[in-house]
């Protein structure tokens, strides 16, 4: 089902692909690194992220795990996308059989009709039959209400994610020196309430080049607003090993380029350098 391309991807499938792209960006992983961390190849992820192929549910869950994102909201979105992709969302159930408008004598109170063949079960008539039909109607109504409620919940979870129970922010996965070499988002350090921009420079293109510090993790990293394929960003401290990020493909150019972290305990001597693929390196330190 997910290996064939539909005639036209619908809005729910497009939204799922966009959510997966955002989640992949948050991980800070390149396409190659993402393939190494999951059971899906780089080419498969490229198809999933650009909406040419519906990602399997297991791939959605795997990306959520890598990004430390609760799976509930995206799995609910995937359920709707799967219906849309397969075409089942547009399938109309056959209409219910129209009951006979004129009741038979056996259905009227006190009515007497021809005797029934007792060798095989036949329709239940009279007051008892009406009670059975009433119970059946109630059961059908309850079942339809439950299905409607579940469908409404899925739409609410997708369209209004704030209505679902908020997930508690994960505890940081590292501290100071143990953060070196790890991506800030993957380790839970890139939290706006805990971030502080220690220094900023504007490149000739007007793009900001920043050194960001996490008070919670006591680690730092460099960030550049936009990059082109081949651009390299580096962050370092005096006497410490530098960390760098390179825009390797088009997906790396669609969002800010972020380096892995370094120990930021001292918060002094931090240095960020940006080397465009076709230009001169620019550095600044604090």
Question: What is the predicted pLDDT for the residue at 96?
Answer: 53
Question: What is the predicted pLDDT for the residue at 51?
Answer: 87
Decide if pLDDT at 179 tops 50: yes
The answer to whether residues 13 and 78 touch, using CB atoms and an 8 Å cutoff, is: no
> Residue 160's pLDDT band (boundaries 50, 70, 90)?
low
Alpha-carbon gap, residue 154 to 175, rounded angstroms: 38
Residue whose entry in the numeric block shows the structure tokens 């259905």? 107
Percent of the chain with pLDDT over 90: 25
Decide if pLDDT at 241 tops 50: yes
> Residue 111's pLDDT band (boundaries 50, 70, 90)?
very low
Closest CA relative to residue 215, chosen from 234, 233, 198: 198
Helix, strand, coil distribution of the chain in percent, nearest 5: 40, 15, 45
Per DSSP, 167 falls in state P
> Residue 229's pLDDT band (boundaries 50, 70, 90)?
very high
Digit-coded pLDDT (tens) for 68-91: 888 888 899 999 989 888 877 665
What residues does each domain of the chain span? 11-90, 176-285
Kindly report which listed range (27-41, 60-74, 160-174, 201-215) carries the lowest average pLDDT score: 160-174
Question: What is the predicted pLDDT for the residue at 8?
Answer: 52
The answer to whether residues 286 and 278 touch, using CB atoms and an 8 Å cutoff, is: no
Question: What is the predicted pLDDT for the residue at 225?
Answer: 87
Tokens encoding 34 = 């993402």
Decide if pLDDT at 115 tops 60: no
Beta-strand relationship, 219-224 and 232-236: unpaired
Digit-coded pLDDT (tens) for 257-266: 899 999 988 8
Residue-averaged pLDDT of the chain: 75
Which of the following CATH numbers is that of domain 11-90: 1.10.260.40, 2.60.40.420, 3.30.420.40, 2.160.10.10? Answer: 1.10.260.40
Question: What is the predicted pLDDT for the residue at 101?
Answer: 45
Question: What is the predicted pLDDT for the residue at 120?
Answer: 44
Query: How far is CA 97 from each of CA 93, 94, 141, 167, rounded to the nearest angstrom?
Result: 12, 9, 16, 47
């Amino acid at each position: 089902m997910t290996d064939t391309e539909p005639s036209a991807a619908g809005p729910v499938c497009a939204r799922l692909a966009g959510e997966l792209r955002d989640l992949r960006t948050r991980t800070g992983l390149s396409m190659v690194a993402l393939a190494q961390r999951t059971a899906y190849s780089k080419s498969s992820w490229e198809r999933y992220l650009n909406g040419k192929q519906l990602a399997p549910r297991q791939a959605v869950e795997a990306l959520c795990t890598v990004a430390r994102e609760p799976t509930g909201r995206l799995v609910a979105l995937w359920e709707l996308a799967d219906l849309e992709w397969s075409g089942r969302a547009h399938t109309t159930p056959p209409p219910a059989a129209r009951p006979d408008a004129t009741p038979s004598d056996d259905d009227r109170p006190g009515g007497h009709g021809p005797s029934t063949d007792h060798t095989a079960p036949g329709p239940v008539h009279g007051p008892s039959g009406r009670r059975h039909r009433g119970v059946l109607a109630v059961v059908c109504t309850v079942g339809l209400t439950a299905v409607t409620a579940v469908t409404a919940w899925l739409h609410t979870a997708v369209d209004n994610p704030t209505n679902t129970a908020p997930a508690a922010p994960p505890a940081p996965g590292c501290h100071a020196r143990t953060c070196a070499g790890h991506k800030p988002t993957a380790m839970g350090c890139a939290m706006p309430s805990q971030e502080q921009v220690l220094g900023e420079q504007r490149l000739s293109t007007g793009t900001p080049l920043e050194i960001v510090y996490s008070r919670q993790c006591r680690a730092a990293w460099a960030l550049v607003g936009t990059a082109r394929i081949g651009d390299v960003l580096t962050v370092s401290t005096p006497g410490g090993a530098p960390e760098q990020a390179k825009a390797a493909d088009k997906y790396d150019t669609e969002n800010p380029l972020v380096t892995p972290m370094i120990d930021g305990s001292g918060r002094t001597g931090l240095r960020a350098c940006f080397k465009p693929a076709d230009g001169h390196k620019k550095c600044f330190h604090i």
